[in-house]
Amino acid sequence: MTFSSGDLLLILPELLIVTAACVVLAVDPVLHPSKKDGMAWLSLGTLATCMGLTASQMSHSTSAFGGLIVIDAYGCFWKLLLCFVTGLTVLLSYSYLKEERLHFSEYYGFVLLALSGMMVMVSSADLLTIYLGTELMSLSLYVMAGLKRSEPRSLEASAKYFVLGAFSSGILLYGISLLYGATGSTRLPDVAAAISGRSLDDSLLLFATILLAVGFSFKLAVVPFHMWTPDVYQGAPTSVTAFMAVASKAASFGAFLRVFVEGLGGVKANWSAIFLLLCIATMVLGNVVALVQTNVKRMLAYSSIAHAGYALIGVVAAGRMGGAAGNGIASVMLYLSLYAFMTFGAFAIVAMLRKGEVEGEEIEDFTGLAKRHPLAALLMMLFMVSLAGIPPTAGFIGKFYVFMSAVEAGMTWLAVLALIFAAISAYYYLRLVMVMYMREPGEVMVTSPRFVMSPTLSIVLACAVAGVVIFGFYPNPLVNLAVQAVLTLK
């Protein structure tokens, strides 16, 4: 295989990120502790440059490295989202890690490495490259999850994540190899050409599809492959949890959609049936189990599982729709980008609600927050309302489009079912609003948790709120972006 310098230019955003990651990791040991803040600013600068470059590639539709990498609006949409979320992560971590006394600058190196993996995932048209991207992302996340070395919970999260992640990667790789056996290629266009006209009666193709579905389901935290999620989300440092819940999920969806639409589009009726079952199971289990959680991080973990279920509705619908499949995919892209704002905002508030040395992550810790920190309570309420999908917030817009594609695909019953579970989910989201606004801090609480505001955190919250409110009232730009991006998906 040959490649030209032009190819390198096309992946300049990725190269920049990797370089910055290497610089951070290399410089860190020799850096004076007082100057380590600079690594955060370096990361932010790189991310901003990278977003600018990616935005300029939005109108491209080319491939590099003999088709291993494609630069199209679809990939750029995800890359922009991922860079943005990573920027928020860096900003949140800056405040949070200092509070936790975990402020190592390697951390930023791992964040950037994970991001580069994610960017490869969403812009690759080759199964093996996608696999490499997935591994790069996952390995970085395993390390980040175990960052609180002194806390057993964090180590447990890391180990659990690693074992199950490695297991799922194995399944994914097995699926790729079977697909290679069935089609003779790992390139998505070749795979698509090879399976056109074939059905899943071909048992090799059937197993390959199922294994790929299972492998991705692990990454997406879809029931019944979600078991790692609550423990890992709860145990990992909260800034990492936010990163995993938003960025890693978005990247996995980005790669997953490309594989199943571009590569396995020929058997979409079949995989649509598989994901229909997973989607229902995910919505039901995620929402019902979230009802009984007492820990906010765990509740948000189950809520993120449930939200993956809602997003899957769009995938299922896309599989059922003929010409209008793009609407289904676009609704998923829209859903995840709106979900990013509200989920990240919610985790940011959890991270900065401090109870002594640790974070106040129990629901009880939020008791009476509206009295003590009216602004934090107001923002948290906004995020909860948005997660529940109540207008006029971004969460409603996301749900609206997903349900619309379900109805368009003739699955009104699925929309009804999902909406009933959305109404059920309102109960646990509102429980948090209730304790914040309607309960007085009891006698039991000697030291009520305080909310630590910092300049970087206020930027994070401002971005999250702006996303939730602006896209709740005026989603047009984002909708158009998603609709146009999806056109480039073949």
What residues make contact with other proteins under the rule CB under 8 A? 370, 374, 381, 385, 390-392, 396, 400, 403-404, 407-408, 412, 415-416, 419-420, 422-423, 426-427, 430, 433-434, 437-438, 474-476, 479-480, 483
Query: Given the complex with other proteins, which of 121 and 418 has the nearer CB atom?
Result: 418
CA 430 to chain centre: 23
Q: Report which of 425, 238, 468 is spatially closest to residue 349, judged by C-alpha positions.
A: 238
Cβ-contact 30, 122 below 8 angstroms = no
Query: Given the complex with other proteins, which of 300 and 406 has the nearer CB atom?
Result: 406
Compute the least distance from the CB of residue 207 to other proteins, in Å: 37
- Residue 273 CA to residue 405 CA, distance in Å, equals 16
Query: Given the complex with other proteins, which of 358 and 423 has the nearer CB atom?
Result: 423
Compute the least distance from the CB of residue 343 to other proteins, in Å: 19
Which residues sit opposite 462 in a β-bridge? none
Query: Which residue in this structure is represented by tokens 């158009």?
Result: 480
Cβ-contact 18, 51 below 8 angstroms = no
- Residue 431 CA to residue 22 CA, distance in Å, equals 44
Q: Report which of 44, 41, 147, 141 is spatially closest to residue 101, judged by C-alpha positions.
A: 147
Segments of 120-235 assigned E as strands = none
Query: Which residue in this structure is represented by tokens 């009520």?
Result: 448
- DSSP labels, 100-139: TT---THHHHHHHHHHHHHHHHHTB-BHHHHHHHHHHHHH
Query: Given the complex with other proteins, which of 73 and 141 has the nearer CB atom?
Result: 73
Report helix angle 268-290 to 296-320, nearest 10. 160
Cα separation values, 39 from 31, 47, 68, 396, Å:
10, 12, 32, 37
Compute the least distance from the CB of residue 477 to other proteins, in Å: 10
CA 267 to chain centre: 26
Compute the least distance from the CB of residue 253 to other proteins, in Å: 21
- Residue 290 CA to residue 297 CA, distance in Å, equals 10
Compute the least distance from the CB of residue 211 to other proteins, in Å: 35
Compute the least distance from the CB of residue 385 to other proteins, in Å: 6
Compute the least distance from the CB of residue 350 to other proteins, in Å: 21
User: Torsion-angle region of residue 199: left (phi > 0), alpha (psi -120 to 50) or beta?
Assistant: beta
Query: Which residue in this structure is represented by tokens 């979409």?
Result: 268
Query: Given the complex with other proteins, which of 166 and 438 has the nearer CB atom?
Result: 438
- DSSP labels, 16-59: HHHHHHHHHHHHGGGS-GGGTHHHHHHHHHHHHHHHHHHHHTTT
Compute the least distance from the CB of residue 167 to other proteins, in Å: 37
Compute the least distance from the CB of residue 59 to other proteins, in Å: 19
Report helix angle 412-438 to 268-290, nearest 10. 20
Give the angle 340-344-345 at the CA atoms, nearest 5°: 120
- Residue 389 CA to residue 396 CA, distance in Å, equals 4
Compute the least distance from the CB of residue 423 to other proteins, in Å: 5
Query: Given the complex with other proteins, which of 68 and 465 has the nearer CB atom?
Result: 465
Query: Given the complex with other proteins, which of 397 and 464 has the nearer CB atom?
Result: 397
Query: Given the complex with other proteins, which of 181 and 477 has the nearer CB atom?
Result: 477
Query: Which residue in this structure is represented by tokens 């999908």?
Result: 389
Compute the least distance from the CB of residue 433 to other proteins, in Å: 8
Compute the least distance from the CB of residue 326 to other proteins, in Å: 11
Query: Given the complex with other proteins, which of 41 and 427 has the nearer CB atom?
Result: 427
